[in-house]
Amino acid sequence: MAEHPEKPAHGPREATRLAPSPTGALHLGNARTFLVTWAIARQRSWRIILRIEDLDGPRVKPGAIESCIDTLRWLGLDWDEGPTIQSHDLAPHADAMHTLASRALAYPCELTRTQIDEAANAPHAPDPGSPGAESRFPPELRPTDLAPRAFDNPDTNWRFLVPPGEVTFHDAFAGPVAQSPGATVGDFVVWTKRAQPAYQLAVVVDDHRQGVTQVVRGDDLLDSAARQLLLYRALGLAPEPTHTHLPLVVGPDGRRLAKRHGDTRLTAYRQAGVPAERVLGLLAHWCALLPAPEPITPAGFCSAFKLASMPPERVTFTEEDDRWLRTGS
Ligand code: GLU
Domains, the chain, with CATH or none: 15-88+247-327 (3.40.50.620), 91-204 (3.40.50.620)
204 lines ligand 1 (CB under 6 A): no
pLDDT at 119: 83
Q: Comparing C-alpha atoms, which of 72, 49, 66, 56 is closest to residue 23?
A: 56
Q: What are phi and psi of 159, to 5 degrees?
A: -115, 150
Distance 67 CA to ligand 1 centre (A): 17
Q: Would the CB of 181 count as within 6 Å of ligand 1?
A: no
Confidence of residue 6 (pLDDT cuts 50, 70, 90): very low
| pLDDT in the model for residue 10 | 53
Ligand 1 mean position, distance from CA 64 (Å): 16
- Considering Cα of 276, then 282, then 283, then 285, what sign does the dihedral take? positive
For ligand 1, say whether the CB of 20 is within 6 Å of any of its atoms: yes
SS3 content of the chain, % helix, strand, coil (to 5): 40, 15, 45
β 81-85/47-52 pair status? parallel
CB atoms within 10 A of CB 253: 8
Position 7 pLDDT exceeds 50: no
Distance 137 CA to ligand 1 centre (A): 22
Q: Which atom of ligand 1 is nearest to the CA of 228?
A: 9
- 19 CA distance to ligand 1 centroid (A)? 5
Collapsing DSSP states into helix, strand and coil, what is residue 292?
A: coil
Shortest-distance atom of ligand 1 to CA 203:
9
Q: How many angstroms separate the CA atoms of 35 and 277, rounded?
A: 12
Tens-digit pLDDT profile for residues 49-65: 999 999 966 678 888 99
What pLDDT is attached to residue 2?
40
When the pLDDT of each residue in the chain is averaged and rounded to a whole number, the result is: 92
Whether pTM > 0.75 for this model: the answer is yes
What's the pLDDT tens digit per position in 162-214? Answer: 999 999 999 999 999 999 999 999 999 999 999 999 999 999 999 999 999 99
pLDDT tens, position by position, 281-307 = 999 999 999 999 999 999 999 999 999
Res. 310: pLDDT tops 50:
yes
pLDDT (mean) for 216-238: 97
> What is residue 4's predicted lDDT score, i.e. its pLDDT?
45
Predicted confidence (pLDDT) at residue 9 exceeds the cutoff of 80: no
175: β partners: 171
First to last CA, the chain: 63
Alpha-carbon distance of 87 to 246, in angstroms, equals: 26
SS (H, E, C) 191-260: EECCCEECHHHHHHHHHHHCCCCEEEEEHHHHHHHHHHHHHHHHHCCCCCCEEEEECCEECCCCCECCHH
| Comparison of pLDDT for 121 and 316, the residue scoring more | 316
Is the per-residue pLDDT at 3 higher than 60? no
